[in-house]
Amino acid sequence: MIATKPTLVLTNYFGNLFILCFCLLFSQSALAADYNFKFHHFLGANSNWQKQILEPWVNRVEQNSNGRVSIEIFPSMTLGGRPPELVQQARDGVVDIIWTVNGYTPGMFPRSEVFELPTIFTKDPVSVNLAIHDLFETELKADYTGLEVLFLSVHAGNAIHMRDSAVRYPSDLIGKKIRTPSRTGAWSIEALGGIPVAMPVPALPQSLQKGVVDGAFVPWEIIPALQLQHQTKFQIEGYNQERIGSLMFQTSMNKAKWDSLPEDIQYAFRDASGPEWRVEIGQKLLHAESEGITIAIEAGNTHSVLSKEETQRFTDILSSVVDRWIDNVAAKNIDGEALVTKARKAIESHLNDS
3-state secondary structure the chain: CCCCCHHHHHHHHHHHHHHHHHHHHHHHHHHCCCEEEEEEECCCCCCHHHHHHHHHHHHHHHHHCCCCEEEEEECCCCCCCCHHHHHHHHHHCCCCEEEEEHHHCCCCCCCHHHHHCECCECCCHHHHHHHHHHHHHHHHHHHCCCEEEEEEEECCCCEEEECCCCCCCHHHHCCCEEEECCHHHHHHHHHCCCEEEECCHHHHHHHHHCCCCCEEEECHHHHHHHCHHHCCCEEEECHHHCCCCCCEEEEEEEHHHHHCCCHHHHHHHHHHCCHHHHHHHHHHHHHHHHHHHHHHHHCCCEEEECCHHHHHHHHHHHHHHHHHHHHHHHCCCCCHHHHHHHHHHHHHHCCCCC
Cα distance between residue 313 and residue 315, in whole Å: 6
Whole-number Å distance between alpha carbons of 57 and 64: 11
**97-101 and 248-254 strand pairing:** antiparallel
| Burial grade of 312 (CB within 10 A; 0-12, 13-18, 19 or more) | middle
Count other Cβ atoms within 10 Å, centred on residue 35.
16
Fold match between domain 35-156+247-286 and domain 159-245+292-349: yes
Q: How many CA atoms lie within 13 A of 354 on its CB side?
A: 17
Name, in order, each residue with C-beta under 8 angstroms of 235's C-beta and a sequence gap of 6 or more: 159, 160, 161, 220, 223, 293, 296, 301, 302, 303, 304
Tell me if 305 sits within 8 A of 102, measured CB to CB. no
CB-CB neighbours of 245 under 10 Å: 26
pLDDT for 30 equals 41
CATH superfamily assigned to domain 159-245+292-349? Bacterial extracellular solute-binding protein, family 7 (3.40.190.170)
For 129, what's the count of Cα atoms within 13 Å in the CB-facing half-sphere? Answer: 30
CATH number of this structure's domain 35-156+247-286, picked from the four choices 3.40.190.170, 3.20.20.80, 2.60.40.10, 3.40.50.970: 3.40.190.170
pLDDT of residue 354: 64
Q: Tell me, what's the pLDDT at 31? A: 56
Nearest to 271 by CA among 128, 57, 116: 57
β-strand pairing of 302-305 with 234-237: parallel
Give me the average pLDDT of each 10-residue run along the chain (354 residues): 44 48 42 91 94 98 98 98 97 98 95 98 96 98 98 97 97 97 96 96 96 97 95 98 97 98 98 97 97 98 98 98 98 98 97 78
pLDDT for res 335 = 98
CA 75, CA 48: separation in Å to the nearest integer? Answer: 12
CA dihedral sign of residues 96, 107, 347, 185? positive
Domain-wise residue ranges, the chain: 35-156+247-286, 159-245+292-349
Contact by Cβ (8 Å): 303, 296: yes
pLDDT at 352: 83
